[in-house]
A and B are shown apart, each in its own frame.
Chain A
Amino acid sequence: MVNLEIDRVSVRFALKGATVEAVNDVSLRIRPGECVALVGESGCGKTVLASALLGFLPGNAETSGSARLGEIDLLAATDHELATTVRGRRIGLIPQSPASHLTPVRTARSQLEEAARILGGDARQAAERAGLLPEHLDRYPHELSGGMAQRVANALALVGNPPLLIADEPTTGLDRDLVDGLLDEFRRLVDDGHAVLLITHDLAAAHRVADRIAVMYAGRIVEAGPAHEVLDASKHPYSRGLANALPERDFLPIPGQPPLLTDLPAGCAFAPRCDQATAICEDRPVLTDDPHAVACHRPC
């Protein structure tokens, strides 16, 4: 069991006439038996980070920094290395909309058995563990209910027994009880010793399952720490605003709009929306090196 060490990772895309700085200088560590949630609103760069870890960035992307999973640097590896040693074997992906991640013309069983054959796993065991009955496996993806599709996705992600799972917005669009079931499943996996990177905009879900939460804003991690601390005792005004926006809390929005990733301010990207901002925020704040780290000149 090894850690995932994300060290000063940046990702940018060259577009016509502009550069999108999607991920900036992100460092994060995920240990076995730990669930880390990466939280932020849509477009903040969290999905790009997940894609970078899996080698799924589009061709116009460039990366810097490193993401070490044991001896392998995920960002430096070739696609072939990633395909033969990392995906499915060391990192399992639990996707958003699991049904659409299945090939529609093949049954769940054939896809599960195929993956098991390639990865040397046990399809029947993986299915059982995911709570799938044999008759579910004979269905085509479109015949699976949302919950069933989610279980198939879990079984597929786990069949190669990867130590690290990346869940990319797994709860979006799911009914609340399905969300709860899925989060419970994650918890069990974490307790079994898996590492889980949960990428979500759903703060409540993150709070429910994650050991640690990293809050991302405009491509940067602005705060990272134990889940309850980040949510209940936020140090960064953005995290605090996000927590307060939850319907079960103040249900109040953060004023303003996030900046464009093609046009990030030189200083703190949140400063224009921040009621605490002063002149010092013209400088870019650095993420502190604490168990509860924050990147803010004027933390709460």
Chain B
Amino acid sequence: MLTGLGITAGYQAPVITDVSLTVHPGQTVGLAGPSGSGKSTLARVLALLHKPFAGTVEIDGETVTGFRFRAAQRTRIGVLFQQPRLSVDPRFTLRQAIAEPGGDRVGELADLVMLTDDLLGRRPHEVSDGQLQRACLARALALNPRYLICDEMTTMLDASTTAALVGVIRAYQRESGAGVLAISHDTTLLTRWADETVRLSAPLPR
């Protein structure tokens, strides 16, 4: 169980205040809400990439004590970002990107996300957003995470690629029993994808 309890987080000022959220293993939780409502901030907290001002994150009963480099539970959570182009080191080929977390399963993962050998040898600027996002998904799955956080993963993608990636994630979920937090402003998508959907309300006007 991935749980955020009473999370208050932000940068200079809090973006989200006292938010709680739970993702059970095998479950897909949708997180919706308008721009600026703090979806991404919450995602980063739950992905252990951003230290909240207050509140705790628990993973399978363990309370997380450190964030970013200090997170012991680091590899139990995989993340996918909104803009695949910014999420891959521009110097890396897709193969290197997928191999980065230390997996030797590049071939297997590439098959999983349907990337051909030809594409694996390319660098980010030589492939489309969709292909790059496939590589990012492969990378996120490389360490067999217990939970996968998809932060606006499909924004840049067309319907077919979206469906393909969701399909891959679902297959992984079936196989591993992982929990998924799917963040999107596309309620239609979440209705179809998630088991349940949580809405963050719009931020207070500044």
Contacts and interface: CB of A to CB of B under 8 A. Distances in A.
B170 to A, nearest CB: 10
A41 B185 contact: no
Task: Tell me which of A201, A242, A253, A255 has the highest count of chain B C-beta atoms within 10 A of its own C-beta.
Answer: A253
B185 A176 contact: yes
Contact of A201 (B35, B119, B158, B187): B158
Nearest to A204: B188
Interface stretch (A75-83, A120-128, A244-252, A279-287): A244-252
Contact of A257 (B119, B156, B158, B192): B119
Nearest to B189: A247
A172 B159 contact: no
A247 B158 CA distance: 11
Contacts of B157: 41-42, 201
Interface in B104-145: 114, 116, 119, 128-131
Contact of B162 (A40, A177, A247): A247
Nearest to A253: B164
Contacts of B186: 176, 247
A43 B160 contact: no
Given A41-B130, A251-B192, A175 B160 contact: no
Given A41-B160, A254-B160, A257-B119, A248 B192 contact: yes
A299 interface: no
Interface of B: 34-35, 114, 116, 119, 128-131, 155-164, 166-167, 185-189, 191-193
Interface of A: 40-43, 146, 172-177, 201-204, 241-242, 245-248, 251-258
A213 to B, nearest CB: 13
A120 to B, nearest CB: 35
A255 to B, nearest CB: 8
A96 B187 CA distance: 21
B57 to A, nearest CB: 27
A43 B119 CA distance: 15
Contacts of B191: 247-248
Given A247-B193, A257-B114, A242 B187 contact: no
Nearest to A203: B159
